[in-house]
Amino acid sequence: MEYPFYATFSSPFESFTIVWIRRGSEQKVQRIFLSDAKLNSEVKALESFKQIKLASSSLITSLGEKMQQFFKGEKVEFDLELVDFNRCLEVQKRVLLAEYGIPRGYISTYKRIATHIGIINGARVVGNALARNPFPIVIPCHRAIKTNGELGGYQGGIKMKRKLLEMEGIEISEKGKVITTRFYY
């Protein structure tokens, strides 16, 4: 049986926690938890996984450090090799891969993403898949917004989503609507 491990890292948004497993010589990320106003990331991890153990790993530490750079506004490329998509339904995997394809400094809408991956009237399907994104930041779900320009939801809270978008050069009005022509898909 595979027992999950976890490591928690600091960020300007409290903390984030990476949960992973070892499969032979491979390590695969199972979840990334972001802290929010209600719970910190480590508590979320401990509540979500049974028999989880605190551990370190050079691959996971490297991923954590890349995420910390990202949170500081640096341009970072994440590799999907570490991500375990086996935990995702096929439609969610399609949504996550489309979201991963949105470049830094661009946004898309739930509707545009749905159309791109061939789900007619699928904005809600996309929104639900992103709401349960097991790999936030690595899969940049903060880059998806509502068709009307509103931010929509985010696992780390709306303040975090807004700040992440602003760090990428996306302007947001005082009323909370995105002001940009940099749409993807």
Start-end of H helices in the chain: 41-48, 58-71, 90-100, 110-116, 123-131, 158-167
Instruction: Note whether 170 and 93 are within 8 A (CB).
Output: no
Per the DSSP assignment, residues forming a β-bridge with 176 are none
CA–CA separation, 86 and 121 (whole Å): 26
Cα separation of the two ends of the chain: 41
Let me know if 88 is a catalytic residue. Answer: no
Phi and psi of 135, rounded to 5°?
-130, 55
Exactly one of 117, 125, 141, 160 is catalytic; name it. Answer: 141
Catalytic residues: 141
